[in-house]
Homo-oligomer: A and B are copies of this chain.
Amino acid sequence: MSGDTTDTAYVPPEPPWWRPPRPGRRRQPLSRRAIVDAAVRILDAEGADALTVRRLGEELNTGSATLYWHIGSKEELGELVYDHVMGEVELPEPDPSRWQEQFLDFGRQVYGVMLAHNDLVRFSLGRVPAGPNMLRIIEWSLDLLRQAGVPDQAAAYAGDAFGRFLDASVLEATSRGGPPPEQVGQHFASLPPERFPNLTALLPLLFTGTDEERFEFGLRLLMRGLEGLIDPAP
Task: List residues of A whose CB falls within 8 A of some B CB.
Answer: 75, 125-128, 130, 135, 138-139, 142-143, 146, 152-158, 160-161, 164-165, 167-169, 171-172, 174-175, 177-179, 184, 187-188, 191, 195-199, 202, 205-206, 209, 213-214, 217-218, 220-226, 228
Contact = CB atoms under 8 A, between A and B. Distances in A.
A153 B225 contact: no
A154 B221 CA distance: 10
A41 B98 CA distance: 52
Contacts of A217: 154, 157-158, 161
A199 B135 contact: yes
16 contacts: A125-B175, A126-B174, A126-B175, A127-B178, A128-B178, A135-B191, A142-B198, A154-B217, A156-B202, A156-B205, A157-B217, A158-B221, A164-B169, A165-B218, A220-B225, A224-B228
Q: Which label, helix, strand, loop or mixed, suits the secondary structure of the A interface?
A: helix
Contact of A165 (B139, B153, B168, B199): B168
A57 to B, nearest CB: 24
Contacts of A130: 179, 184, 187-188
Contacts of A184: 128, 130
B177 A126 contact: yes
A205 B195 CA distance: 47
A130 B181 CA distance: 12
Q: How many copies does the complex hold?
A: 2
Contacts of A179: 128, 130
Nearest to A161: B218
A168 B125 contact: yes
B218 A157 contact: yes
A168 to B, nearest CB: 4
Interface centre among A127, A187, A217 (most CB of B within 10 A): A217
Given A125-B171, A175-B127, A160 B224 contact: no
